[in-house]
Amino acid sequence: MPELFRERPVAPQKIGETEAEKFIYAVTVLAWLALPFGVGAIPLLPGGAGLVYCLVAGVILSLTVVSLFAEMHVQPFQTNAL
C-alpha cells in the first residue's frame, strides 16, 4: 500500500494543480459576485436587499480569500505493524 501515498512531485515555481485550482475558483467567485454591480442591478433591488446582498457577498469574498491561503495536506495513515 505504500504506493498509494507517494509524495507529489514539486511543482515548477511552486505553482501546481492545487494553486491553479484555488486561483481559478477565486476568480470565478469574484466574477459572479461582481456581476450584479456590473449590470447595475444593486440599486434596483427593493428595500434593504442591496445591503443584504453586499453583506453576503462580503462574507463569501472573505471566505474565498481565506481559502486561497489555506494549507490543506492529507497525511498518510500510519499503522503500527507488530
Sign of the dihedral defined by the CA atoms of residues 36, 38, 39, 43, in that order: positive
| pLDDT above 90 for 4 | no
| pLDDT above 90 for 52 | yes
Q: Where are the domains of the chain?
A: 13-68
Eight-class DSSP state of 6: P
Could you tell me the CA-to-CA distances from 40 to 11, 20, 50, 57, 63 in Å, in that order?
41, 31, 11, 15, 25
How many Cα atoms within 13 Å fall on the side-chain side of residue 39?
Answer: 8
When mean pLDDT is compared over 10-24, 38-52, 64-78, the highest value belongs to 38-52
